[in-house]
A = this chain, B = another copy of it.
Amino acid sequence: MDLLSGKWTMSVINALMSGVLRFGELERAVPGINTRMLARTVKELEERKIISRKPHPTVPPTVEYSLTEKGLALKPVMQALQAWAVANYHRAQAEQS
C-alpha cells in the first residue's frame, strides 16, 4: 500500500493518535511541515476516510481533525513500526501514547 506515501502522512496520523487536534495544533504537532503540506495531507487523509474534519462555525473559525475508525485501526501498524524502529535504531523513545 502506498497510502502511507507522502512525507508527512505518518506523522499526521501519529499526531492524531493521541486525540483531536485543530489545524494549527496539528501544524505545531508536526515540526517541519508547512501550511500547504498540512492542508494537502489532511485533505488526502480525509478523502481516504482515515481522518475526519469537523469545522465549527465560530469566529474566528476553528476546525477539528480526528481519526476515523479506519484511522484508529492503523494503531497496531504504527505500534509495530515504532517497535521496529526502537529495536533497530533505539531512538526517539519519547513519542505518542
Chain B residues near A39 (CB-CB < 8 A): none
Decide if A74 is an interface residue (CB 8 Å cutoff): yes
A87 nearest in chain B by CB position: B73
A47 contacts which chain B residues (CB < 8 A)?
none
Oligomer copy total: 2
- Check if B70 sits within 8 Å of A74, measured CB to CB: no
* Contact size range, A: 10 to 19
Contact present for B80 and A77 (CB under 8 Å): yes
Determine how close the nearest CB of chain B comes to the CB of A31; give it in whole angstroms.
Answer: 15
Q: Which residues of A contact B (CB under 8 A)?
A: 1-2, 4-5, 7, 10, 70, 73-74, 76-77, 79-81, 83-85, 87-88
